[in-house]
Amino acid sequence: MDSFHATINLPKNILFQMKVENRNIEGFVRKNLAVEMYREGALSLGKAAELAGVKTKWEMMTILNSKGVPISYSIEEVKKDVKTLDSVLKKK
């Protein structure tokens, strides 16, 4: 994924309010940006998972659920994922 670097100035006390360790701010921002962009329809489930840095759509669905975001998962996506799962399981 192509990326760009962004700098943002925030009040020092925001770190405490975010309940995130200083070294994991990027992960926090990426995950929450992915959630909001998915909520707005700007990202697919797979792209949201990629932005959030999670390994699977299922993990992203768990994150979305924890944030109260409805998940739109079409029958076509389900079929595609089942097909992928079948091929992975056949390789084992």
pLDDT band at 31 (very low <50, low <70, confident <90, very high): very high
Chain-centre distance of CA 41, in angstroms?
13
Q: Does residue 22 carry a pLDDT above 70?
A: no
3-state secondary structure of 5: coil
- Tell me, yes or no, if the pTM score tops 0.85: no
pLDDT band at 54 (very low <50, low <70, confident <90, very high): very high
Orientation of helix 57-66 relative to helix 25-39, angle to 10°:
80
CB 32 within 8 A of CB 43: no
- At residue 1, the pLDDT reads 64
The pLDDT tens digits for 71-91 are 987 888 889 888 988 888 888
